[in-house]
Amino acid sequence: MIQVIVFLPLLAALVAGFGQRALGPIVAKGVTTGALFISCALSWPIFIGFLTGSAEPGVAPVLTWIQSGTLDVNWALRVDTLTAVMLVVITTVSALVHLYSWGYMAEDPDQPRFFAYLSLFTFAMLMLVTADNLVQMFFGWEGVGLASYLLIGFWYQKPSANAAAIKAFVVNRVGDLGFMLGIFGTFLVFGTVSIPAILEAAPAMAGSTIGFLGQRFDTMTVLCLLLFVGAMGKSAQLGLHTWLPDAMEGPTPVSALIHAATMVTAGVFMVCRLSPMFETSATALTVVTFIGAATALFAATVGTVQTDIKRVIAYSTCSQLGYMFFAAGSGAYGIAMFHLFTHAFFKALLFLGAGSVIHAMHHEQDMRYYGALRREIPITFWTMTLGTLAITGVGLYGVFGFAGFYSKDAIIEAAYASGTSMGGFAFFVGVFAALLTSFYSWRLVLLTFFGKPRWAASEHIQHALHDDHGHGHDHDHDHGHAVAHADNPPAQESAGDEPHAHGPTKHDLPAGTGGYHPHESPWPMLVPLVVLSIGAVFAGIAFAPFFIDSAEFWRGSIAFDEALIHHIHETPMWVKLSATVAMLIGLGTAILAYVVYKDWPQRFAEQFRILYRFLLNKWYFDEIYHLLFVRSAFWFGRLFWQRGDVGLVDRFGPNGFAAAVQVGSRAAVRFQSGQLANYALVMLLGLVGFATWAILG
């Protein structure tokens, strides 16, 4: 069964990709979507089997892969609780994204290629989570990197899409270098790449040292930190996060798949899979906790000022991944996986809901041009509201809560219960990030679905009103308002009544003015929203006892600290209520700023201009990296090009010795007249010259 789950998406991708011209879009979409629904249907019984205790961990061999000296790598599919969790997350979200894309990409002429890429992406992620050794995991790791490059740059005609795809590829190569070094070091220390063998031997290596960069360091700390660098790149942690917001250049279904179920969760999965290794190094766990908390804070602050609806949700993803990592760093690996599980439902829901809004607004992504959409697209409104209730952690302690109420609150309690100084730092950062999460999430809802309609000010809609043919196919993009108007903060951060200081003046007209009416999405887009809403509402309360409390459920697939779980349940009530209080403060602030006192955002941007620009420019990470790395790389490139290639190689090569040979050959040709008298004269002169040299010498 596991072989079918893993390889069916690959088969579908090959059929759709190589047979697209012969089969056509309908068959290609049907094959890929059907394959994913079959994989999904087969994955849930495995997961339920581990829930009920009827399933046992096992390994399904596929083939002998690499044998070289002591390196023995067999391709095998590991199935345990951790794998089962990832199987249902990946196949469920991917199947729904495939179905959603039937409506969203209906006008795109390259649908077979798009669906082939989606299925290839899913196969690579399934290979990663079923890996029985580190080399096989790296195969899947690089596979999702390749597929993300193809999908982010799917509209390759757009320079911005190509740039975003290259950025994602390059930044992830930095992280992958650390991951590769970690794999090399692990093989050097343990003599194997088999994950079970490594985890079994890891405790015995605690306290040993290894030579690295000319110094002696703790062995397990070095190995874990190198592996964690790979996780930072794939899961967009602070420092290697810059590719994630630009990944929004891909179609919205791609954003949902990357951010909810596949690429960005790979790092969290890897840390949890190798948790017995990380448990041997307190330093590595401290670093994981700090990076996770810092990422949660950074992304939450940046998300509060974004105006592109997809970028707000993208930074939300970055922040939630930070929560998962500092949960793992606190030793609560089961809770980290629980948040990964619930996050998949409500984050996919929010991204696909954003795509429905963009579809309704004729590809407009700036929330300042929305407003009053709750009556125009009611299903999208209610499903996105449920997703917002889930991500902000709305719930009543001891009664009922949405998905995030159980998983995110448990992470905050775990950080406090860890009893370490870094855990305390993560606790306070997590509470503050929860406040910011509530603010920017409800800000998105209020700007999009409430207030006055501001559609007539949109350049996209005005263009659509004068173009009967529309855009031909979806052109998701960030049209740059945030950067272009950074010098005008009041206009940038308006509550919505003044999208541009120099913009049209028709934005206060009633709904429908100008001949454009937002419309609800077709059923292939709405069905996934409804299904994901069920997960956003009930996934927390249904599965919390298993993920958080049950060591039997995990069955050794992760390191499980029962003492920590006991401390979590014993935390003071103020700790348990802190995230809820923060959520309420964020909600209240959003209502005051975007419903009651609509001039607050503009006044804030004017009064705190430096802070506002700092957040608007994403802490200037891109500018700093451009200065330190991009410009220096171009400088070295020009140096080797102008001084090396042109100045040396060309000068002494084609423009030097080669040119001299060419000139000499042309001169020699002149002596080849074909007349015997000329040749005799040259011979005579040569003999005279030789005789003169011999006599004088």
One domain for residues 569 and 679: no
CA distance 297 to 158: 32
One domain for residues 356 and 236: yes
Number of domains within the chain = 2
What value does the mean pLDDT take over residues 285-293? Answer: 96
- Predicted confidence band of residue 487 (pLDDT cuts 50, 70, 90): very low
Residue 471 lies in a domain: no
- In this prediction, residue 479 carries a pLDDT of 39
Question: For the segment 256-277, what is each residue's pLDDT rounded down to a tens digit?
Answer: 888 765 788 999 999 999 999 9
Q: Is the pLDDT of residue 496 over 50?
A: no
Q: Which residue has 């975007």 as its token pair? A: 594
- In this prediction, residue 436 carries a pLDDT of 96
One domain for residues 308 and 425: yes
- In this prediction, residue 260 carries a pLDDT of 64
- In this prediction, residue 158 carries a pLDDT of 87
Q: Which residue has 């061999």 as its token pair? A: 61
One domain for residues 558 and 689: no
Q: Is the pLDDT of residue 539 over 60?
A: yes
One domain for residues 612 and 662: no
Greater confidence (96 vs 681) lies with 96
Residue 461 lies in a domain: no
Q: Which of 562, 585, 616 is the last residue of a domain?
A: 616
- In this prediction, residue 464 carries a pLDDT of 62
- In this prediction, residue 263 carries a pLDDT of 83
CB 141 within 8 A of CB 176: yes
Residue 611 lies in a domain: yes
Percent of the chain with pLDDT over 70: 90
The pTM of this model reads 0.87
Residue 242 lies in a domain: yes
- In this prediction, residue 217 carries a pLDDT of 92
- Predicted confidence band of residue 515 (pLDDT cuts 50, 70, 90): low
Contacts 24+ apart (CB under 8 A), 200-209: 202/276, 202/277, 202/280, 203/276, 203/280, 205/280, 206/280, 206/281
- Predicted confidence band of residue 671 (pLDDT cuts 50, 70, 90): low
Question: For the segment 322-337, what is each residue's pLDDT rounded down to a tens digit?
Answer: 999 999 999 999 999 9
Residue 268 lies in a domain: yes
- In this prediction, residue 246 carries a pLDDT of 87
CB 537 within 8 A of CB 386: yes
- Mean pLDDT (the chain) is 87
Question: For the segment 593-622, what is each residue's pLDDT rounded down to a tens digit?
Answer: 999 998 999 999 999 999 999 999 999 998
- In this prediction, residue 614 carries a pLDDT of 94
- In this prediction, residue 131 carries a pLDDT of 95
CA distance 45 to 47: 5
Q: Which of 578, 599, 616 is the last residue of a domain?
A: 616
- In this prediction, residue 494 carries a pLDDT of 41
For 541, counting Cβ atoms within 10 Å of its Cβ (0-12 exposed, 13-18 middle, 19+ buried), the class is middle
Residue 96 lies in a domain: yes
CA distance 291 to 625: 18
Find the domain containing 112 and state its range: 2-453+519-616
- In this prediction, residue 658 carries a pLDDT of 72
30-56 b/e with 16+ CB inside 10 Å = b? bbbbebbbbbbebbeebbeebbeeebe
Q: Is the pLDDT of residue 649 over 50?
A: yes
Question: For the segment 567-603, what is each residue's pLDDT rounded down to a tens digit?
Answer: 999 999 999 999 999 999 999 999 999 999 989 999 9
One domain for residues 608 and 688: no
Residue 391 lies in a domain: yes
Residues in contact with 267: Cβ distance below 8 Å, sequence separation at least 6, in sequence order: 230, 231, 232, 233, 234, 235, 237, 321, 325
CB 563 within 8 A of CB 405: no
CB 445 within 8 A of CB 388: yes
Residue 485 lies in a domain: no
Question: For the segment 111-137, what is each residue's pLDDT rounded down to a tens digit?
Answer: 999 999 999 999 999 999 999 999 999
Residue type, 65: W
What value does the mean pLDDT take over residues 355-384? Answer: 91
Q: Is the pLDDT of residue 452 over 60?
A: yes
What value does the mean pLDDT take over residues 226-249? Answer: 91
One domain for residues 654 and 604: no
One domain for residues 152 and 236: yes
One domain for residues 226 and 338: yes
- In this prediction, residue 680 carries a pLDDT of 84
One domain for residues 298 and 422: yes
Cα 579 to chain centroid distance, Å, stands at 26
What value does the mean pLDDT take over residues 415-424? Answer: 94
Greater confidence (472 vs 26) lies with 26
What value does the mean pLDDT take over residues 203-213? Answer: 88
- In this prediction, residue 467 carries a pLDDT of 57
- Predicted confidence band of residue 501 (pLDDT cuts 50, 70, 90): very low
Question: For the segment 142-178, what is each residue's pLDDT rounded down to a tens digit?
Answer: 999 999 999 999 888 888 889 999 999 999 999 999 9
CA distance 642 to 625: 24
Question: For the segment 546-575, what is each residue's pLDDT rounded down to a tens digit?
Answer: 999 999 999 889 999 999 999 999 999 999
Closest CA to 557 of 176, 49, 42, 80: 80
- In this prediction, residue 648 carries a pLDDT of 77
One domain for residues 547 and 676: no
Percent of the chain with pLDDT over 90: 63
- In this prediction, residue 571 carries a pLDDT of 93
Helix axes 403-417, 378-391, angle to 10 degrees: 20
- Predicted confidence band of residue 215 (pLDDT cuts 50, 70, 90): confident
Closest CA to 363 of 147, 153, 108: 108
Q: Which of 592, 616, 640 is the last residue of a domain?
A: 616
One domain for residues 301 and 256: yes
CB 356 within 8 A of CB 533: no
CA distance 310 to 252: 8
